[in-house]
Amino acid sequence: MLTLADLKSGTRVQFSEDVGRYPHFIVPKGTTGTVKDVSGEGCAILMDQAVEGAESWDNEFLVTLDDQSENDSIFETLKIQPA
């Protein structure tokens, strides 16, 4: 399973399952994106496909340290794509 430390800026990822950011949007299985804006607190994944409801977040999925400690399922669904 990935951790926040594995997500470096520029890393390509794919969601292997649907992931929700309730009540705002659900990232569909198979969505791909690029990790950006990495900090000690988390990172943003800019999704390649437009995700309905994610417009207010500039089509980004935010991953935080809270996700790592409280909701490991997010990290279980992220798969790094080969370069």
* 25 vs 8: CA distance, rounded Å: 24
Distance CA 19, CA 4 (A): 16
Class in CATH terms, 4-80: mainly beta
- What are 30-75's pLDDT values in tens digits? 999 999 989 888 899 999 999 999 999 999 999 887 776 655 578 7
pTM: 0.88
Q: Which one, of 46, 80, 42, 37, lies nearest residue 64 by Cα?
A: 42
**Strands 32-36 vs 12-15: parallel, antiparallel or unpaired:** antiparallel
Domain boundaries, the chain: 4-80
- Token pair, residue 28, equals 């569909």
Tens digits of residue pLDDT in 4-27: 888 899 999 999 999 988 889 999
